[in-house]
Amino acid sequence: MTSVARQFLKLLALPALCAAAHVHAQTDDKSASWSFQGFGSAGAVHSTEKQADYAANVLYPGKAGYSSNWSPEVDSRLGAQLSVDIDKRWSAVLQVVSERNLQNSWKPVVEWANVKYQVTPELSLRLGRIALPMFLAGDYRKASYALPWVRPPVELYGALPISSSDGFDASYRWNSAGLKHTTQAFYGSTNRELGPGYRAHGHGITGITHTVTSGALMLRGGVTTSSLTVDVGQELFAGLRQFGAAGQALAERYEIRDKRVLVVNAGASYDPGDWFVMAEAGRFNYKSALGDFYGLYASAGVRLGAWTPYVQAGRSHALMATSIAGVPLAGLPPAVAATASYLNGYLNSYLSAIPQQDSVALGLRWDVCPGMALKLQYDRLHTRNGSSGTFINVQPGFRSGGHAGVTSVLLDFVF
């Protein structure tokens, strides 16, 4: 048995087949209560693209494609959540999730850890590590049992790999013209390890989202901004600065240091129970080598008893040049020109990672029993315009413009 198969079977053995458990306790004075819940996913992914790896999230990459024929790391995870209701106004939640990270480790991380104060029935405040409320599935993107698909569409959700921040938020609920409104403002920061000596720092994460619901209809839109620094490409930008004003301008333009990021997103879903349709779109302007692009998707499905067939289509497109001339080579001595040419190619390798791709997917969800669902999904991806799309670990033999098939099987469970 291969190591990949052993990893998959270990993950598969985590839940008790077709059993669900929920732990709940209440203190003797009836004033406080706590509950424990768990969730997880055990899956495997195969990609026909053998010159790169398929990834749903660059911070939690898988190895399907170049690195492995079948990879359990793309979607597999295990999570646990402890919730405490102290009294009518105070509550707290702690959520811990284990999934493969950039350090090739499954070390659990704290996804949520916050305290909530219900000021009035309409107004609540939270302090701590809080889920970013930016997308329709922003509150449960890690618990894919709550999703109809194997994973959230990568063209949109993969464009913003972080899902929580440390800070505070305020939510206000109100009604108007028969519609239920929730306005949420948040502020925070995040600091993520990318590898030995490499980190991503997001400071002053500030945003506002507004959600409207009416029966089966939900609309959500938001704007978020942050100052972002990512410790990658240091040698590239230091090298560019050795080439006068032109190199300095390139370094200032593309270095990911104290750049004011702007994300604007909107989405809608309609789910009366027997079927669903939903769509989201977002623009992501990182003002650096991370790009300025949009991502969007649309999806629909029908529930036939325990079976839910669905279809999905997605697109990401750059709103900036993804290949540039770089430092002018004319007039440079041969040895210096060779160095400049290398740096230009290095920079363009970053820009080619700005996602430009189209995708269509067909999938089937089978609710085996309460608390357990088996999903099968096939994605057809088409990278465009010299981009590697949402693939990672791109090898020299990769060719943009081709098509790749991604087959995924996933067992989701809650306990």
Percentages (nearest 5) of helix, strand, coil residues in the chain: 15, 50, 35
pLDDT in tens, the chain (415 residues): 444 344 434 444 444 444 444 455 555 555 789 999 999 999 999 999 999 999 998 888 889 999 999 999 999 999 999 999 999 999 999 999 999 988 888 999 999 999 999 999 999 999 999 999 999 998 888 999 999 999 999 999 999 988 999 999 999 999 999 999 999 999 999 998 887 778 999 999 999 999 999 999 999 999 999 999 999 899 999 999 999 999 999 999 999 999 999 999 999 999 999 999 999 999 999 999 999 999 999 999 999 999 999 999 999 999 999 999 999 999 999 999 999 999 999 999 999 999 999 999 999 999 999 999 999 999 999 999 999 999 999 999 999 999 999 999 999 999 9
Domains with residue ranges and CATH for the chain: 3-21+39-75+102-414 (2.40.160)
Name 310's Cβ contacts closer than 8 Å, sequence gap at least 6.
148, 149, 299, 300, 301, 302, 362, 363, 364, 365
CA dihedral 144, 146, 147, 152 (to 10 degrees): -50
Mind giving me the DSSP string for 113-140? EEEEEE-SSSEEEEEEEEE---STTTTS
Question: Where on the phi/psi map is residue 273: left (φ > 0), alpha (ψ -120 to 50), or beta?
Answer: left
| CA dihedral sign of residues 280, 351, 379, 375 | negative
Whether 164 and 190 have beta carbons less than 8 Å apart is answered as yes
Question: Alpha-carbon distance 152 to 307, whole Å?
Answer: 19
User: Residue 234: which of 267, 210, 257 has the closest Cα?
Assistant: 257
Q: Which residue's entry shows tokens 């989201």?
A: 280
> Is pTM beyond 0.85 here?
yes
User: Residue 81: which of 13, 23, 134 has the closest Cα?
Assistant: 23
